[in-house]
Structure 1
Amino acid sequence: MARLFDAYIVADWTAAETKKLGDNSLWLGVAKRDVRFRLYSETHNVATRAEGEALLASILADHRKRGDRVLVGFDFNLGYPAGTAARLKLDGTPWRAMWAFIDKNVVDKPDNTNNRYQVAAKMNRLMTDQAWPLWGAPASQAQRWLTTTKPPEGAGADIPEFRATEDAARKGRLQPKSVWQMHGAGAVGGQTLMGVPAVIRLLDKMGPSGAVWPFGTGWRELGADDVEPLSALVVEVWPSLYGAKPEAGEFKDQAQVRVTAERLAAMDDDGTLAKAFAPPKSATPALIERVEQEEGWILGV
């Protein structure tokens, strides 16, 4: 069976407000094949999101010149729980409306200074006029519409805490975080706000040769005909699925991006990657529409 992709890139993004290398910083893992089609991997660590975005754009441009197809995985949410766009009174397809809202509101400077907590507070003000559903901030960033701690039990109970993909993942041993959590160990809310604008800019550079799954492709098994016109397909990944163990001298995040990229390559080799793009057999038409139009899905869940 022919492989769908020639290279696999996994980005462990960061919401850091200062330049940072090593643990809890921005890492890229790249798995690709040499001239003898043997898989090898490399990792890159950069101190700022601007550097990470530029490096990723450069790697993708090099592959595009060679006519390669690249799978690009980001470790943050590409969508929000159902109803978020409606509560923000945004028009249009929910995922596109959310991306446009984030892109319009987020300020991210070259030195990593950013306004993610102010954007979270604005979202709370517009959605509930209370300090929820988004929560978690350093004491210096806390304010009326954003608190340091999780809202009291029952606050915003009509707003889903998780997307369908996280609910599916939570049936196993892993416990994904909610996109509403902005701060604390493993929090993904800040990374999502800082990452979505970078994905938008990268896709803009690629034009019609870039696509995002499942929003732009449909939630279905993908074949060679689907990816043949593309230079890159963007997906959401969750490295914790793959149980990476750091090798000697490796940082945890470094091991995660390397192992995730290698695992995606292995799935492509054995034909299981194509099937991973499809919904579970139990998915209802309503769920498929919700995933394709608003929430997205984590590849591999």
Structure 2
Amino acid sequence: MIPFDSFAMVDWSGGNDTGPRPRRDAIWLGLVRQGREEPPRYLRNRALAQEAIAELIETERCAGRRLMVGFDFPFGFPAGFAEGLTGRADPFAVWDWFEDRISDDPSANNRFDVAAMANGLFPGTGPFWFNGLRRDIAGLERRDTRAGHGQRERRAADAPGTFTCWQMGGAGAVGGQVLTGLPVLNRLRRRFAGDVAVWPFEDLARPVAFVEIWPGLINEVVKQAEAAGGVRDAHQVRLMARALARLPETDLAAMLAIDAPEEGWIMGLGHEEKFSRAAEGLKPPPLRDDCFALPGGVDWTPADQALALLRARLHRVVGQEPVDLASGLGRVLGAPVTARRANPPHPNTAVDGYGFAYASLGEGDQTLPLIAGRVAAGVPYAGDVPFGSAIRVLTGAALPSGVDTVILQEDVSVGRGEIAFRAGIKPGANTRRAGEDVGEGETILAPGRVLTPADLALCAAVGVARLEVCLRLRVAIISTGDELAEAGETPREGQIFDANRPMLSALVRDFGYEVVDLGKVADDRETLRRALDRGAAEADVILTSGGASAGDEDHVSALLNDAGAMAEWRIAIKPGRPLALGLWRETPVFGLPGNPVAALVCALIFARPAMASLSGAGWFEPQGFDVQANFEKRKKPGRREYLRARMREGRAEVFKSEGSGRISGLSWAEGLVELPEAGAEIKPGDSVRYIPFASFLRG
């Protein structure tokens, strides 16, 4: 099967225009384009829906992307109906018949009359029923009193819980959806002739596929999403498009391997569990095989060029899941968050004081009668405050009717049943407007944000209890080399302790990701192959250290070369020239140098921003600062250099030795000084760029 790039889902409606405000029982469109989920679109009538679908087809076709569009109404009727209606057992003859007779505009359509017309071609009362109009229609019963029409009640694909296609009105009026939907599909099929295939009636080797899907297949997942608020129809199209996009190609092919040439079929019927699992979290497409390929003729790669290539070619590879606010800290937001209500939800007072109507004030100093009672936060005042009177109000209290201005209690003299204060207060003083912070329906957080405690407070304040977040990036870590021993073991002669794996594991956890520790691997190609296979199965990205160059025992590079997805980037930086990049079973591999100093620098400068993209947080750039140097250095031109450094008394000092084997310098340092590619002679007091290690942590 030729894979699809984009997946759309349409929740249809046979009714009239539903108005400008998004609502239920209307037309909704969900879309996942190249693994990226877009917010559901509300389409108020069928004319707009037809144009929106046509525009989507045109966009995807021009971009060279294959598109699957699902619709939630039957494409065919029970066997025998097509021949009884048109004389041919051809579902497209039925489509033509209804398109020729249905007239439809946003305010009205004649679906009930056309159903009666179709009934007249069959014996008895005919198969269609339920006249939803006030006027009687000859040939269309108001209730299901049919008899003798000779048609089967359901198709073979009509699962328990689905409604019969003969019902024209009332709850679950599938018949009304079919009669208004098929003409639209027929027009789109004709408009994009040769590019649209209708499943299961036609071969799907075309750029666009129309398929029939029933959202009830993922009903439990939809109910969970609906419990957090929002329109059910919008959740249905969003989650069903997500499920389609995330299904493995083998499962998708199995669901499409159906022979139903006249009745059609509900795609995914019998595969409800797979559909539901796929709907629970979005899985973006894998990286392209050439994502790490260098441009032709490039050998030595400047650091900026290497970073630009990574930024352009990497994207999110993790799925997503819903979590409660309590579990959201540090997670990457996977979908936009909109306010369920305004903050503040109603006008309120910002201070303890006295409230009144500003328009009731006269010239000069003021004296106002004070009415009984008070207004406190969470305890609204039941009545109206009379014009010209004041009432006691406490901070955070909703302003009662008749109050638009509050004076601070310290500025008031209180007498028996009255208050007095000086002239000069401004209208609306010491009050907060409803929604002055956040309006209802406003997008408050965008996808890719790493959630902070303040973000969670904002979500709670506007009534959002659950969030769609990206699954945590899983990072497999492998150390390679016969020379490595585990700390705590007794090393053999010539062995050293493995410092890289503990360092990289801790670094990855600091970034907010999950570690899959695959241990140390000897210089044996088959053992390393098995470790890489496990890493690809259990993780989203693999970090190796050692074996990334071109020597006899550099097995990481050799295996990636054998797999046909290896790029050895000789980057013009110090320390850490060789960086092996590749894909192992569609999982990105970063082959870091074996030297711990070089491994740390390459992990921070290259793997950190790359993993941020893979995690869904977007490209990451650490914050650097221009500071004065407290050291001397003569630097040759050609390579960017990173010196272990720390800040003392407002200046950057560097470690006493630049030797890349001096691991103690990593512990001594609190950041890096970055020196650009040009030659330089640095003296104390000169400006240099300092990047604290803390700048590389969570965004």
TM-score normalised by length of structure 1 = 0.82
Q: Say whether residues 1:25 and 2:20 are aligned partners.
A: no
- Provide the residue aligned with 2:111 in structure 1: 116
CA offsets per residue over residues 53-72 of structure 1, 9 Å max, x none?
Answer: 11111111111111000011
Q: Distance in 1 between matches of 2:133 and 2:65?
A: 47
Amino acid at match of 2:95: W
Amino acid at match of 2:251: T
CA offsets per residue over residues 216-263 of structure 1, 9 Å max, x none?
Answer: 12xxxxxxxx53xx2210010101111213354420111111111111
Q: Distance in 2 between matches of 1:141 and 1:256?
A: 34
Q: Distance in 2 between matches of 1:188 and 1:9?
A: 20
Superposition deviation, residue 203 in structure 1: 1.3
* Identity fraction in percent: 34
CA offsets per residue over residues 64-86 of structure 1, 9 Å max, x none?
Answer: 11100001111111001111122
Q: Say whether residues 1:181 and 2:171 are aligned partners.
A: no
- Provide the residue aligned with 2:184 in structure 1: 198
Matches within 5 A, 1:1-301: 4-20=3-19, 21-33=22-34, 38-88=35-85, 90-109=86-105, 111-128=106-123, 130=125, 132-151=126-145, 155-156=147-148, 158-166=150-158, 169-170=159-160, 175-217=161-203, 227=205, 230-243=206-219, 244-245=222-223, 246-247=225-226, 248-267=228-247, 269=248, 271-279=250-258, 288=259, 291-292=260-261, 294-301=262-269
Superposition deviation, residue 177 in structure 1: 0.6
Amino acid at match of 2:8: I
Secondary structure of 1:271's aligned partner: helix
Superposition deviation, residue 296 in structure 1: 0.7
Q: C-alpha root-mean-square deviation of aligned residues, in Å?
A: 1.8
Amino acid at match of 2:53: L
Secondary structure of 2:37's aligned partner: strand
Q: Distance in 2 between matches of 1:275 and 1:203?
A: 25
CA offsets per residue over residues 134-165 of structure 1, 9 Å max, x none?
Answer: 1112251442311221125xx13631000111
Secondary structure of 2:57's aligned partner: helix
**Contact 1:81/1:163 (8 A) holds in 2:** yes
**Contact 1:117/1:141 (8 A) holds in 2:** no
Q: Distance in 2 between matches of 1:300 and 1:249?
A: 27
Q: Distance in 1 between matches of 2:133 and 2:57?
A: 39
CA offsets per residue over residues 92-118 of structure 1, 9 Å max, x none?
Answer: 442021111111110012x24100000
- Provide the residue aligned with 1:283 in structure 2: none
Q: Distance in 2 between matches of 1:78 and 1:96?
A: 9
Amino acid at match of 1:50: A
Q: Distance in 1 between matches of 2:37 and 2:94?
A: 37
Give unmatched runs, 5+ long, in structure 1. 218-225, 280-287
**Contact 2:76/2:91 (8 A) holds in 1:** yes
Q: Distance in 1 between matches of 2:98 and 2:246?
A: 34
Secondary structure of 2:134's aligned partner: helix
Q: Distance in 2 between matches of 1:48 and 1:102?
A: 19
Residues 295 and 151 of structure 1, relative CA distance in 2, 3 Å threshold: same
Give unmatched runs, 5+ long, in structure 2. 270-699
**Contact 1:72/1:234 (8 A) holds in 2:** yes
Q: Distance in 2 between matches of 1:150 and 1:61?
A: 42
**Contact 2:30/2:238 (8 A) holds in 1:** yes
Residues 42 and 3 of structure 1, relative CA distance in 2, 3 Å threshold: farther
Secondary structure of 2:120's aligned partner: helix
Secondary structure of 1:127's aligned partner: coil
Q: Distance in 2 between matches of 1:216 and 1:142?
A: 40
Q: Distance in 2 between matches of 1:231 and 1:54?
A: 18
**Contact 1:49/1:112 (8 A) holds in 2:** no
Q: Distance in 1 between matches of 2:2 and 2:230?
A: 29
- Report the count of equivalent residues: 263
- Provide the residue aligned with 1:282 in structure 2: none
Amino acid at match of 1:26: I
Secondary structure of 2:157's aligned partner: helix
Q: Distance in 2 between matches of 1:264 and 1:112?
A: 33
**Contact 2:10/2:71 (8 A) holds in 1:** yes
Superposition deviation, residue 39 in structure 1: 3.4
Secondary structure of 1:8's aligned partner: strand
Amino acid at match of 1:9: A
Q: Distance in 2 between matches of 1:59 and 1:231?
A: 12
**Contact 1:137/1:183 (8 A) holds in 2:** yes
Superposition deviation, residue 3 in structure 1: 7.1
Structure with larger Rg? 2
Amino acid at match of 2:267: L
Superposition deviation, residue 278 in structure 1: 1.4
Q: Distance in 1 between matches of 2:2 and 2:229?
A: 32
Superposition deviation, residue 270 in structure 1: 5.4
Q: Distance in 1 between matches of 2:186 and 2:68?
A: 16
Q: Distance in 2 between matches of 1:202 and 1:14?
A: 17
Superposition deviation, residue 25 in structure 1: 0.6
Secondary structure of 2:117's aligned partner: helix
Q: Distance in 2 between matches of 1:46 and 1:96?
A: 26
- Provide the residue aligned with 1:222 in structure 2: none
Superposition deviation, residue 41 in structure 1: 3.2
More helix by share: 1
CA offsets per residue over residues 30-56 of structure 1, 9 Å max, x none?
Answer: 1123xxxx4323210011100011111
**Contact 2:130/2:167 (8 A) holds in 1:** yes
More strand by share: 2
CA offsets per residue over residues 190-213 of structure 1, 9 Å max, x none?
Answer: 000000011111111221111001
Amino acid at match of 2:3: L
Amino acid at match of 2:138: R
Amino acid at match of 1:136: F
